[in-house]
Structure 1
Amino acid sequence: AKIYAAWKPYRMELVKEASETGLPVVRHPFIHYPDDPEVHGLGYQYMVGSEFMVAPVLDPGADTVKVYLPEGEWVHLWTGRRYGSPQRGVYETIQAPIGEPAVFYEEDSEIGTRFREELERRGLLRR
């Protein structure tokens, strides 16, 4: 519930965008990265709006997940660690224990940065 509350400003923004444009809140990455051929084959990854890339853990008992990050520098929401490459998209294997799914935002995302700061302010990030 605390994470949901911290997410509220962006959620409200996405609902407004959806009502005005018809874009879904949860989207296939192809919508934002149509020129990246690797994105076309992603079957389980999704984006929340244009800002957050999510790779759910689907295998029972697993605590890692393989995620594709399109070209650019990406920040892991829970750790703040940087991933990716400014020259090309990359696959990374990420720790994703229960309660900390693999969620990333691009390094220059103001929304992602604000959300991470809010999680930190609420004491919801790893120390």
Structure 2
Amino acid sequence: MHNDFRLYTSKQAFEIYNENCGDKKLFPKKSDMYFWCVTLGYKHAPNLIPSSLGPERQGEIHWGAFDDDIQKPFLNMVAVEANNSFDVLADNKEAQEKFRDIIQAYAELGFTLLCTNMNGHFTSDKLMEIIINETI
């Protein structure tokens, strides 16, 4: 993917991302929160691609914002595993749209799980509890 490739969030997620990302907030960057949402979504339903985000999207995250060593390889793995093919990593518009649909769908599922578990209070303690509970 090129660094200007974009992934989107739903309108509902956009405000929560803005509230919880930045200096001295729960997530340093929106890409970090997005990554954790994809991770939670994939962990919850690895064999089921959630429904597509569709046209109701607002926020965007550039591919270049993700970490090259951990985040990008993991997101690539999720897309390949969900698609059952490396074709989703091809450098063409169709593959990129498929990649985007898969990752956005998992991000939205993870976002829903994150919000449900946070009960409106986004704290590091609750995030650690979710991470521990989801990895057991």
TM-score w.r.t. the length of structure 2 is: 0.30
Q: Which has the higher helix share?
A: 2
Question: Which of structures 1 and 2 has the larger relative contact order (alpha carbons within 8 angstroms, sep 6+)?
Answer: 2
Q: Which has the higher strand share?
A: 1
